[in-house]
A and B are shown apart, each in its own frame.
Chain A
Amino acid sequence: MMGGRQSIPMPRTLFEKLWEAHVVRAETDATPAVIHVDLHLVHEVTSAQAFAELRERGLPVRCPDRTIATMDHSTPTAPRRAHERTLATLPVMPADARAQLEQLAVNCEAFGVPLYPLGDARQGIVHVIGPELGLTQPGMTIVCGDSHTSTHGAFGALAFGIGTSQVAHVLATQCLLQTRPRTMEVQVDGRLAPGVTAKDLILAIIARIGVGGATGHVIEYRGEAIRALSMEERMTVCNMSIEAGARAGLVAPDETTFAYLRGRPHAPRGDGWDAAVARWRDLRTDESAPFDATVTLDASAVTPMITYGTNPGMGMAITDRVPDPALQPADSDREMLGKALRYMGLTPGQPLLGTPVDVVFLGSCTNARLSDLRAAARVLARHRVADGVRMLVVPGSQQVKRAAEAEGLDRIFVRAGAEWREAGCSMCIGMNGDQLRPGQLAVSTSNRNFEGRQGAGGRTLLASPLTAAAAAIAGAVADPRRYLGAET
């Protein structure tokens, strides 16, 4: 570049702006960057060993006011009576899960970390409560010992999952060692059709780029279709960025973001609010800033999606037929697909529509927010869950649960024959006893269809809340548009 033009700043992507604002020590040829963390979310499964390491080293938590803990993974979600609301008063729980939850409470107490435990009105899945409490804000760096931390990127925050050793690093230093990732633009033009949701969009994106397709990259989702999404829908999209291998997913903040955040408990207030919004408006990719990779999609071509295999990239339009391994050109794809279909008990070339299901799970950090429950309730109203099908509805947080109950959604689910449960990760990860039995087939609004993910031997079809509700009614995989006829 010529000397006279050096004063013109280089156009930067949103990611670059976020990264550069948090560099404590720049990356060199010999050492990674030291990156500051604004918000550290903590849960019981990936933190105990980190707190233990702080104890061994005699270190305090550096910024307890930037650290929030909750209980979500190992927590039971069976309906609780009023006197059973806290960990101490819960009747029956596996000893190891109880010990893990108690350890989190001990650690938070000892290190001064705020904790929203079982029984607290703010308890819930860590990626649901961060946004709903207004803790998640544009421009932040957010980490958690949990890969679905990518959810928070929906606010224009750089948010990613870390391992337990790194949890210890952040507890003690509020920083992380990081090498700079590459950037990927996922441009989604057009609009989603009625009956097609953010979940279908992200499943279509992952089917397109593959489960390792975004490895090493931070994705920024852009375009008309993304701008048209609500915050909860953007969270669904960013949540599953990790399922394409991405380090993080981002959506630039806009009026939708600000409207969602205004008035939330931890959001800035008064003059601080106006100043914050003014700062947040700069958090977008500059015109002509280059990305390392670009993928484009036409939202109007996306239809309701469902997975047929054992990773989230094995997805197809719900009206399609299961692909045939014999038709895959690469040996490795043939083997991988064949193995997946054997596990799933599916036949090459068969349609999924009409395939009987045993369980429907509506929940998880992907799809257990109020709008997800509303969407499913809209389909289920005036219908019943088919005989022989178990449907679990697990709100993402206690706050979501209360809001849903206030508008009567719980009654719709219960009247239809579904189970209305307490908040937590539940059958998405099956750590709390909410599990599939071997061989059972589930339509699930969660994020992973890995072998055994929802219980050893269980089989998972990932889909949207609309598709999950349709499957519950039909007792089989069903096109949700069938139940939305009057509205489409």
Chain B
Amino acid sequence: MPCREFRSLTAAFAPLPTENVDTDQIIPARFLTTTRRTGLGRHAFHDWRYRVDGSPNPGFVLNDPRFSDARILVAGRNFGCGSSREHAVWALLGAGIEAVVSSQFADIFRGNALGNGLLPVEVPDAIVSELLATGDAIPDQTLTIDLEAQRLTLPDGRSVSFPIAPFAKHRLLNGLDEFDFLLQALPDIEAYEENGSTRAISTITSEVP
């Protein structure tokens, strides 16, 4: 299946002024009994978004009508830490979030995001702090993400660059899937497996009866 393409995005952003947002917050474990990738958006940030009685928590940014159009989330450093659950990325996409701006992303989350076409935009702490501070005071501001140029344009017109691995950039610009690329490496994989002498490991021995 092709990957979600990502070229550029101009959209409102929701400020989430929290560091170390872990994947248990993005999608609590009790929603992981699903066997599908879809339907998780309504549970995104469930325990921050809803009160115990199930009613929306008006204090949470994604319930704030001022940010109802947000397609970009801006959050404190180390976003997506903790569990490897790809459900976190599916939940964000399902909730209409297409990019996250932070000053640091956890490794597994970053990989999962890039694999699904959710763009992690890593910019310096000072930029994130500024967006978090002004985002709440002046809603309806937009950010522009230009993946080709690797630039994030701020509401006041300044722009900052962000890093992305060339391979991920190429894939996202063209909607290409990692899986397809890996499948093209099968001849090399076969050669590696046949050349057992280059391997530093023992194979799994079958169990003693």
Contact = CB atoms under 8 A, between A and B. Distances in A.
A215 B204 contact: no
Contacts of B167: 30-32, 177
A-B pairs with lowest CB-CB distance, top 7: A212-B78, A48-B35, A163-B86, A21-B200, A161-B84, A163-B112, A96-B33
B137 interface: no
Given A96-B33, A279-B202, 6 more contacts: A161-B108, A164-B86, A174-B193, A267-B205, A311-B20, A429-B29
Nearest to B170: A30
Contact of A268 (B181, B198, B202): B202
A39 interface: yes
Contacts of B107: 181, 215-216, 245, 247
Given A38-B201, A279-B200, A451-B24, A215 B106 contact: yes
A317 interface: no
A169 interface: yes
Contacts of B19: 332, 336
A460 to B, nearest CB: 11
A438 B82 CA distance: 22
Interface string B72-99: 0000111001111111010000000000
B17 interface: yes
A343 B30 CA distance: 20
A21 B28 contact: no
Interface in B174-203: 178-179, 181-183, 185-186, 188-189, 192-193, 198-203
Interface string A229-249: 000000000000011010100
A39 B81 CA distance: 24
Given A17-B200, A99-B35, A269-B208, A212 B77 contact: yes
6 contacts: A30-B166, A48-B35, A165-B179, A242-B82, A245-B81, A336-B19
B165 interface: yes
Contact of A457 (B22, B52, B111, B201): B52
Nearest to A447: B82
A265 interface: yes
Contact of A163 (B105, B111, B203, B205): B111
Interface in A131-187: 133, 135, 137, 139-141, 145-147, 161-166, 168-169, 172-177, 179, 181
Of B25, B183, B201, chain A has the most CB atoms within 10 Å of the CB of B201
A21 B192 contact: no
A49 B199 CA distance: 31
B37 interface: yes
A97 B31 CA distance: 10
B1 to A, nearest CB: 7
Interface in A26-85: 29-32, 34, 36, 38-39, 45-46, 48-49, 52-53, 56-57, 65-66, 73-74
Contacts of B199: 21-22
B104 interface: yes
Contacts of A39: 204
A452 interface: yes
A451 B81 CA distance: 13
Contacts of B106: 212, 215, 245
B160 interface: no
B208 A46 contact: no
Nearest to A63: B193
A165 B198 CA distance: 28
A10 B47 CA distance: 51
Contacts of A99: 33, 35
Given A163-B86, A179-B165, A450-B82, A139 B36 contact: no
A371 interface: no
A145 B81 contact: no
B173 to A, nearest CB: 13
Given A46-B84, A165-B116, A29 B166 contact: yes
A283 interface: yes
Interface in B1-44: 1, 17-20, 22, 24-25, 28-30, 32-37
Residue of A57, A163, A266 most packed against chain B (CB within 10 A): A163
B189 A165 contact: no
A140 B108 contact: no
Contact of A96 (B29, B34, B84, B181): B34
Contacts of A283: 200
Contact of B178 (A48, A165, A269, A336): A165
Nearest to A165: B115
A453 interface: yes
Interface string A329-350: 0001001100100000000000
B133 to A, nearest CB: 10
